[in-house]
């Protein structure tokens, strides 16, 4: 068996330069052409007007069986890095050493001839990945069985849906046993059944293959990767465990985007159904925030901590059917839950001055780790008086505990003998 610390990928001082204008692009192309004619290196140590570094001094290595995550804001250089690693782009400086075979998930359908059948494309894709016809013949039946395309395997690929293309591409790439896989937001494809097959296949490959995973899904990075790096403006600004990298990234996000945004709501805008409302002639909104039972505000908490939502507002009239609702969304566009005062079967009565103050105790809630957005909604019968977002809360998991899905339920295993 090979040494588990055997290096598969080494990235040494990689820089990649981009042009901002057509003139700068033409200048770069002429420079490359001239260097090709003279046999000189294209490397230069600076960038000129209308140029910028998309990648700057990237250094890391990946050992056999290891998975490293790459996270960062849009435009940070994540896709550029994958393309350099996959050989689609050449670095302007530095070196990428792949000590084995590589396969890229950047486009699972790349290398397919749309006019030929899926069966024929198995061999075409295999050739793109550096495999001989004999090698592909040895695994073709396994690929066809895994892709689950049935009779469509002999139909032209241009009749396939995008999901069928991805399934065939995934099956081919993962059956040529590459030393290194480059994954761009595609850890599994297809329906639930097929996703489970994909995840199981990737897990089996962890013994001999290494992975570089670019993802905006912090749960994937946390659960799948051994290490992670954070890119910012083309440079590595943090390298460490997934938890360390995610914490650094989230702190950077707060610093760059600001801690208070409807501000908080803007990042979750696609997850919110409806509009923010504040009828100031009817309601005077004071606050709504995550905090401890004693009233201390929180930006994050660990599952199991005493926590909840404080709120206070004043009505300028006498309502007939006052209710409060607080829906909560997670960072994956999923509405996790919603809390409603009328579940108690009664309407709310303001105090003599029109104030409504309260605390929603969520200490025993079943949230999973990740960023969450709560929205406080106040309405009189069916009329919305107020609908405003709270600041985003970062919910931390307990150490050495694994979480799945959007939420968890309190439970107990019985009748088992645990060691």
Element (DSSP H or E) covering residue 398: none
Tokens for 280, please give them: 């100031």
Range 143-159 burial, b when 16+ CB lie within 10 A, else e: bbebbbbeebbeeebee
On whether the pTM is more than 0.75, the answer is no
Q: Which residues make up the CATH 2.70.50.60 domain(s) of the chain? A: 264-396
Q: Which residues make up the CATH 3.40.50.300 domain(s) of the chain? A: 7-254
CATH 2.70.50.60 fits 264-396, yes or no: yes
The answer to whether the beta carbons of residues 143 and 153 sit under 8 Å apart is: no
* Predicted pLDDT of residue 250: 75
* Predicted pLDDT of residue 324: 95
Handedness of CA 146, 148, 153, 159 (dihedral sign): negative
How far is residue 402's CA from residue 387's CA, in Å, rounded to a whole number? 34
Tokens for 387, please give them: 């609908």
How far is residue 35's CA from residue 43's CA, in Å, rounded to a whole number? 10
How far is residue 16's CA from residue 51's CA, in Å, rounded to a whole number? 10
Tokens for 145, please give them: 């069985």
CA atoms within a 13 Å half-sphere pointing along the CA-CB vector of 86 = 23
Beta strands 93-98; 235-240: pairing state:
unpaired
Range 325-361 burial, b when 16+ CB lie within 10 A, else e: bbbbbbbbeeebbebebeeeeeebebeeeeebeeebe
From first to last of the 419 residues of the chain, give the pLDDT tens digit.
444 568 899 999 999 888 765 655 566 566 655 665 665 555 555 555 566 788 999 999 999 889 999 998 877 889 899 989 988 888 888 999 988 777 777 667 677 899 999 999 999 998 888 889 999 999 999 999 999 998 999 999 999 988 888 889 889 988 988 889 888 866 556 666 777 778 778 878 887 889 999 887 777 788 789 999 999 889 999 999 998 998 888 777 655 544 444 455 555 554 454 567 888 889 999 999 999 999 999 999 999 899 999 999 999 998 888 999 999 988 876 888 999 998 767 889 999 999 999 999 998 888 999 889 999 999 888 788 998 889 989 998 887 777 777 888 777 887 787 76
Strands in 265-418 per DSSP E:
277-278, 283-291, 300-302, 308-315, 322-330, 335-340, 355-361, 370-380, 383-389, 393-396
Torsion (CA) 59, 65, 71, 77 in degrees, nearest 10: 50
Write down the CATH number for the domain with range 7-254: 3.40.50.300
Beta strands 51-63; 7-19: pairing state:
antiparallel
How far is residue 130's CA from residue 80's CA, in Å, rounded to a whole number? 23
- DSSP-based three-state secondary structure for 94: strand
């Amino acid at each position: 068996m090979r040494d588990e610390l055997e290096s598969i990928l080494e990235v040494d001082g990689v820089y990649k330069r981009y042009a901002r204008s057509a003139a700068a692009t033409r200048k770069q192309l002429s420079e490359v052409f001239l260097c090709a004619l003279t046999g000189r290196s294209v490397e230069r140590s600076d960038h000129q007007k209308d140029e910028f570094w998309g990648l700057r001094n990237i250094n890391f290595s990946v050992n056999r069986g290891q998975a490293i995550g790459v996270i960062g804001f849009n435009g940070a250089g994540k896709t550029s890095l994958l393309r350099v690693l996959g050989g689609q782009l050449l670095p302007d400086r530095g070196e990428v050493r792949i000590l084995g075979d590589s396969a890229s998930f950047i486009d699972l359908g790349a290398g397919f001839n749309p006019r030929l059948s899926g069966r024929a494309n198995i061999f075409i894709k295999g050739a793109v990945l550096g495999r001989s016809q004999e090698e592909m013949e040895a695994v073709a039946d396994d690929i066809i069985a895994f892709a689950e395309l049935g009779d469509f395997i002999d139909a032209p690929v241009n009749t396939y849906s995008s999901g069928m293309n991805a399934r065939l591409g995934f099956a081919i790439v993962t059956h040529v046993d590459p030393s290194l896989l480059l994954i761009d937001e595609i850890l599994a494809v297809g329906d639930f059944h097929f996703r489970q097959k994909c995840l199981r296949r990737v897990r089996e490959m962890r013994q001999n293959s290494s992975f570089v995973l670019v993802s905006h899904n912090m749960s994937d990075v946390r659960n799948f990767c051994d290490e992670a790096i954070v890119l910012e403006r083309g440079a590595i600004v943090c390298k460490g465990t997934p938890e360390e990298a995610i914490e650094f990234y989230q702190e950077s996000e707060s610093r760059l985007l600001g801690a208070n945004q409807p501000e908080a709501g803007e990042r979750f805008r696609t997850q919110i159904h409806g509009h923010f409302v504040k009828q100031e002639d009817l309601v005077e909104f004071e606050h709504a925030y995550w905090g401890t039972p004693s009233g201390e505000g929180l930006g994050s908490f660990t599952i199991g901590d005493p926590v909840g939502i404080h709120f206070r507002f004043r009505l300028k009239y006498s309502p007939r059917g006052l209710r409060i609702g607080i829906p909560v969304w997670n960072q994956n566009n999923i509405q996790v839950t919603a809390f409603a005062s009328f579940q108690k079967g009664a309407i709310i009565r303001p105090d003599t001055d029109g104030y409504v103050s309260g605390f929603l105790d969520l200490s025993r809630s079943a949230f999973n780790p990740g960023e969450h957005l709560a929205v406080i909604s106040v309405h009189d019968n069916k009329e919305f008086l107020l609908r405003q977002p709270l600041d985003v809360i970062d919910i931390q998991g307990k150490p050495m505990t694994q979480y799945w899905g959007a939420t968890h339920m309190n439970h107990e295993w019985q009748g088992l003998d645990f060691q």
